[in-house]
Amino acid sequence: MSTVAGSIAALVREPSGRPSTRAVRFWAWDAAVGWTFFAALQLLWMLVADAWTQPLHLAGLGLTVVAAVVHVAVMPRWRYRVHRWEITEDAIFVRSGWFTQETRVAPIARLQTVDSRRGFLMRMMGLTSVTITTASSAGALTIHALDDAVAREVVAILAEVAQHSEGDAT
Amino acid sequence: MSAEPPAAEPAVETGDVHDPSTEPWRRLNPLMLLVHPLRELIRYLPVLLIALVAGAAGGEPWWAYVLSGLGIVFGILRFFTTTYRITPTHVQVRSGVLNRRTLSAPRDRIRSVDVDATLLHRVFGLAIVKVGTGASHGQEELALNAVALRDLPALRSELLRLAPPDASAGAEPPANLSRWSPRWVRYAPLTLSGVASIVAVVFFVVQLNFFEGGVLTRLAVVQQGIGWVTHLPLLVTALWGSIVLVVLASAVAMVRYALSYGRFSIHRAGPHTLHISHGLLRARQITLDETRLRGAQLSEPLSLRLAGAASAHAIMTGLGRQRGGVALLAPPGPREEAVRIASVVLGGSEPLDVELITHGRRAHRRRYTRAASFAGVLAAAALVLQLSGIVSPMVWWAFVVIVPASAMLAADRWRGLGHALLPGWLIARSGSLNRKRAVLATEGIIGWTIRRSFFQRRAGLATLIATTAAGRHRVVIPDLPQDAVWPIVEAVSVRHEVAGDAAPVDAAGAASQSVRADRS
């Protein structure tokens, strides 16, 4: 069965699942680590070029700090407001992003693999991301930053469903 | 998806498959003992040429000879290390001189068989057979390089499990859909492939010169040429330069066009099989299983469109990465011809000439705001460059061209933007410089992405992407009014229940209830 039963319109606009509340902290740390790395590279460049007082270098560093502070302050909360997911009997819905937002829909009959991924930071905070792939390389859905226990349940349910699905439209 | 034959195996396997079959491993055609080394030599020809030039300019290029020698040895080893077999269930190829690997494809997953013969292969009466399977991404191509041309028909029908070709029954000629006309070559300069080739060659030469420490500038011919050009007045140089460039690019494009699309022909080889062949020197034959057809695509880049030309491709599953999941149906040629062939393949011309639904006032305005912001970014860059003294204020004259050009582009992009939903088909058209009209079978759609950038949200627009396993794996409908998005998704993906059991029941629905809430 490739199609979705019933009306999805009402459901899709506001799927009910949300990421873990710790996701905000995770995204903030994740972004902070990235920006720190970037700033460290800039400092290294200044060290190598011996350019501690050059205005262009200092302006670049200042710009990085401002962008980092704004990004770390704004992005995680915004993301948390946007992120939603829901698995119904016949379809999976995921909404993600912040500045650019994406809603993805895939009929459960089309699902091929279910992967869960936990990076180092995520393990420290007990978070897991679940990625669901379909036969289309453009159609993978990722449910970001779930509580570990919830993620395990999601994977178990989807793995069960995947066994019964027929036809991946290849 | 009732039309879909059930998939027999979940995925194509790679790696060492323990097939119990005792089918013996076969070698490829022994003539490859000549072809492989010759190919390697040809590949190293530029290096050897440089070596000769450099040798003339001083210094013995021993490394070039060592490299070519190694290439020849590896070429010979490649023949002895590559074997294949066709078991009742799988096609397997073992290859690799140092790193051994086995590629294996289940035979019921074979979707297409390509035959590719370079000039060298044709001299020896050989051809490469490429096997396309259902998995179209992240998969290495399974190729038999090479087999004799006379073994081809048998091998192809064995792989595709067709009835073996019967020589006596060949009385009825296959239904030919199209035949190439040499006059189509006149469209070649409009494909801009000549310009691309020239840019590539210039880039290569500059790179070469750089790595070889200015070999070329040391040559007397080049020095004379440079000296001669620098003594001409600037305007004359520019004028002649552009004339020469246009003529050269056109000539290159026409030669390339004739070489790759010459003798193009497409015909129906069986009830569900299309047979496409083209190429003057390098001959390619593609056999497509039409049950894998998921739509078609009409490409009308601005330059071709102005001359009333277009090209068409089939959107299929299982074509592999190499050609981006599309198979050529009609090379750049008269638009009616491209539309006609695509209609025959799709089984109707309606998806290709139906009037499209436009995307409304806000999408219209967005074409112009985007064009304006593009010009704005260019202006900002020009300002910075001018203030820092890198370019002269003359740069602002360029905007006499840039501003009207972007406005015209925006207008044309708006004219191209549209979509339509027919029973069984989703149609999307967009772009100007590279306009494409994609027709996708709704049964091939396996998911949706609705993308809304910050600016799109403010304008109440959304980009709808239908994902599929065929072609480039996505068909994009840009800047759709937000209200139009869900009706399309619903019309395609929602099976409306008969009244009575319309309410979605949660009986089996542990899925929807139990995992919804976050525990933390």
| A2 is a domain residue | no
Could you tell me if B518 lies within 8 Å of chain A, comparing CB atoms? yes
| A1 is a domain residue | no
Could you tell me if A89 lies within 8 Å of chain B, comparing CB atoms? yes
Judgement on whether residues B365 and B489 belong to the same structural domain of the protein: yes
B-chain residues near A82 (CB < 8 A): none
Is B451 in Cβ contact with A169 (below 8 Å)?
no
At B1, is the pLDDT very low, low, confident or very high (cuts 50, 70, 90)?
very low
Judgement on whether residues A89 and A14 belong to the same structural domain of the protein: yes
Is A2 in Cβ contact with B446 (below 8 Å)?
yes
Across residues A159-166, what is the average pLDDT? 69
Query: Which residue of A107, A157, A170 is in closest CB contact with B515?
Result: A157
C-alpha to C-alpha distance for B71 and B69, rounded to whole angstroms: 5
Q: Residue B401 sits in a domain of what CATH number?
A: 2.30.29
Could you tell me if A110 lies within 8 Å of chain B, comparing CB atoms? yes
Lowest mean pLDDT among A156-170, B317-331, B419-433, B501-515: B501-515
Mean pLDDT over each residue of chain A, to the nearest integer:
85
pLDDT winner (highest mean) among A88-102, B14-28, B147-161, B168-182:
A88-102
Is A167 in Cβ contact with B4 (below 8 Å)?
yes
How many other CB atoms are there within 10 angstroms of residue B508's CB atom?
Answer: 8
The DSSP secondary structure of B355-415, one letter per residue, reads PPBP-HHHHHHHHHHHHHHHHHHHHHHHHHHHHTTSS-GGGGGGHHHHHHHHHHHHHHHHH
Judgement on whether residues A104 and A128 belong to the same structural domain of the protein: yes
Judgement on whether residues B35 and B143 belong to the same structural domain of the protein: yes
Secondary element (H or E) of residue B229: helix B220-230
Please tell me the predicted confidence (pLDDT) of residue B105: 81
A127-134 and A141-147: which strand pairing?
A: antiparallel
Residue type (1 letter), B192: L
Distances, alpha carbon B461 to alpha carbons B124, B288, B415, in Å: 58, 38, 17
Could you tell me if B457 lies within 8 Å of chain A, comparing CB atoms? yes
Could you tell me if A168 lies within 8 Å of chain B, comparing CB atoms? yes
Is B506 in Cβ contact with A89 (below 8 Å)?
yes
* Inter-chain contacts counted by CB atoms under 8 A, chains A and B: 174
C-alpha to C-alpha distance for B104 and B125, rounded to whole angstroms: 26
Summarize chain A as % helix, strand, coil (round to 5): 50, 25, 25
Across residues B126-142, what is the average pLDDT? 71
Closest Cα in chain B to A13: B486
Could you tell me if A106 lies within 8 Å of chain B, comparing CB atoms? yes
Could you tell me if A3 lies within 8 Å of chain B, comparing CB atoms? yes
Burial class (CB in 10 A: 0-12, 13-18, 19+), B324: middle
Q: Considering its fold, how many domains does chain B have in total?
A: 3
| A114 is a domain residue | yes
Judgement on whether residues B147 and B193 belong to the same structural domain of the protein: no
Judgement on whether residues B80 and B201 belong to the same structural domain of the protein: no
Q: Residue A150 sits in a domain of what CATH number?
A: 2.30.29.30
C-alpha to C-alpha distance for B319 and B112, rounded to whole angstroms: 7
Torsion of CA B9, B12, B13, B14, to 10 degrees: 170
Contact A163, A114 (CB under 8 A): no
- Residues within 8 A of A (CB atoms), B 301-340 only: 317-318
Distances, alpha carbon B363 to alpha carbons B204, B345, B460, B477, in Å: 42, 33, 9, 12
| B346 is a domain residue | no
| A89 is a domain residue | yes
Closest Cα in chain B to A100: B453
Could you tell me if B282 lies within 8 Å of chain A, comparing CB atoms? no
Q: Is A129 helix (H, G, I), strand (E, B) or coil?
A: strand
C-alpha to C-alpha distance for B47 and B350, rounded to whole angstroms: 53
C-alpha to C-alpha distance for B442 and B493, rounded to whole angstroms: 8
Is A89 in Cβ contact with B509 (below 8 Å)?
yes
The whole domain housing A44 covers 24-79
Residue B9 reports pLDDT greater than 60: no
Judgement on whether residues A102 and A149 belong to the same structural domain of the protein: yes
Please tell me the predicted confidence (pLDDT) of residue B486: 87
Listed residue (A162, A91, A164) closest to B446, CA to CA: A91
Burial class (CB in 10 A: 0-12, 13-18, 19+), B53: middle
C-alpha to C-alpha distance for B67 and B72, rounded to whole angstroms: 9
State both tokens at B258: 């004739």
Judgement on whether residues B151 and B254 belong to the same structural domain of the protein: no
Judgement on whether residues B56 and B152 belong to the same structural domain of the protein: yes
| A170 is a domain residue | no
Which residues, 6+ apart, have CB-to-CB distance to B458 below 8 Å?
A: none
CA of B139 to nearest chain A CA: how many angstroms apart?
12
Judgement on whether residues B236 and B147 belong to the same structural domain of the protein: no
Judgement on whether residues A45 and A103 belong to the same structural domain of the protein: no
Distances, alpha carbon B286 to alpha carbons B27, B289, B446, in Å: 24, 10, 26
Residue B185 reports pLDDT greater than 60: yes
Chain-centroid distance, C-alpha B406: 28
B-chain residues near A109 (CB < 8 A): 1
Judgement on whether residues A69 and A90 belong to the same structural domain of the protein: no
Q: Which pLDDT tens digit goes with each residue over A68-95?
A: 999 999 999 999 999 999 888 778 899 9
Judgement on whether residues A67 and A98 belong to the same structural domain of the protein: no
Judgement on whether residues A90 and A152 belong to the same structural domain of the protein: yes
Judgement on whether residues A40 and A106 belong to the same structural domain of the protein: no
Judgement on whether residues A94 and A119 belong to the same structural domain of the protein: yes
| A41 is a domain residue | yes
C-alpha to C-alpha distance for B256 and B247, rounded to whole angstroms: 14
B-chain residues near A87 (CB < 8 A): 511-512, 515
Across residues B394-416, what is the average pLDDT? 92
Is A20 in Cβ contact with B520 (below 8 Å)?
yes
B-chain residues near A157 (CB < 8 A): 510-511, 514-515
A4-5 and B494-495: which strand pairing?
A: parallel
B-chain residues near A6 (CB < 8 A): 494, 497, 502-504
Judgement on whether residues B369 and B449 belong to the same structural domain of the protein: yes
Judgement on whether residues A13 and A42 belong to the same structural domain of the protein: no
Is A2 in Cβ contact with B318 (below 8 Å)?
no
Is A166 in Cβ contact with B136 (below 8 Å)?
no
- Residues within 8 A of A (CB atoms), B 4-43 only: 4, 6-7, 10-11
Q: What is the largest CA-CA distance in chain B?
A: 90
Q: What percent of chain B has pLDDT over 90?
A: 25
Q: Is B322 helix (H, G, I), strand (E, B) or coil?
A: coil
| B355 is a domain residue | no
Secondary element (H or E) of residue B234: helix B234-261
Could you tell me if B458 lies within 8 Å of chain A, comparing CB atoms? no
pTM equals 0.77
Q: Which pLDDT tens digit goes with each residue over B434-456?
A: 999 999 999 889 899 999 999 99
Q: Considering its fold, how many domains does chain A have in total?
A: 2
Judgement on whether residues B40 and B102 belong to the same structural domain of the protein: yes
B506 phi and psi, to 5 degrees?
Answer: -105, 20
Judgement on whether residues A68 and A109 belong to the same structural domain of the protein: no
Judgement on whether residues A97 and A144 belong to the same structural domain of the protein: yes
Q: Which pLDDT tens digit goes with each residue over B191-225?
A: 877 788 888 888 877 776 666 666 666 677 777 77
Q: Where are the alpha helices (DSSP H) in chain A?
A: 9-13, 23-49, 55-82, 120-125, 148-164
The DSSP secondary structure of B139-170, one letter per residue, reads ---EEEEEEEGGGHHHHHHHHHTPPPP-STTT
The whole domain housing B81 covers 26-111+133-163
